Amino acid sequence: MEIRKENLSISQPLRERARHSAEVTNDNSANSENVQEKDKQKEPEYIFSKQLDNEAAAYKEGNATFKDDYESLEKAIEIVRALALRLREKINKLKNPTVNIKSDHPIESSGNSRVAAGIKAYHDESSKSEVEALEQQLSEYERQEAELKLNMLNMIIEERKRLDRLT
């Protein structure tokens, strides 16, 4: 392919560079997302630590009662974490609103900006109180998760003591 100077305008190379730059940026962001996704897959999520989780796994193999109780607590933690995650997402949406009052709104088109400001202030205040209520609920979920973890930790300690008495 032959490129001649007379066929190129100044804007064409700029458009080409911008398009290439956008493609590179998209490729880089896609690659970084893939790398982050692979990192998440490589690193297992521990409830406590690798050592304690491995110890609990060994106890689950040797004691059916421990296994049933511990797995029930693991499921409960998963549920509480999922609820907390959804709540955090909801709180973030409320804290970063994307609500815009349309310009064809009759109050705004009539030029009454004080009423529009009042609507916005009311919306901000109701969002603020909703966020506070959701944050209290999130705090409760975090308390429940901590309590579940404490119960799991106590189970590990009790099983450790039981096995020490047997040996």
Task: Write the pLDDT tens digit of every residue in 80-108.
Answer: 999 999 999 999 988 886 655 454 455 44
Single-letter amino acid, residue 121: A
Task: Write the pLDDT tens digit of every residue in 12-37.
Answer: 443 444 444 445 444 544 454 555 55
Q: Where is pLDDT greater, at 116 or 69?
A: 69
- DSSP code of 45? P
Task: Write the pLDDT tens digit of every residue in 153-162.
Answer: 999 999 999 9
Q: Which residues contact 148 (CB under 8 A, 6 or more apart)?
A: 73, 76, 77, 80
- The token pair at 96 is 């970063």
Nearest one of 149, 148, 144, 152 to 67, comparing CA atoms: 152
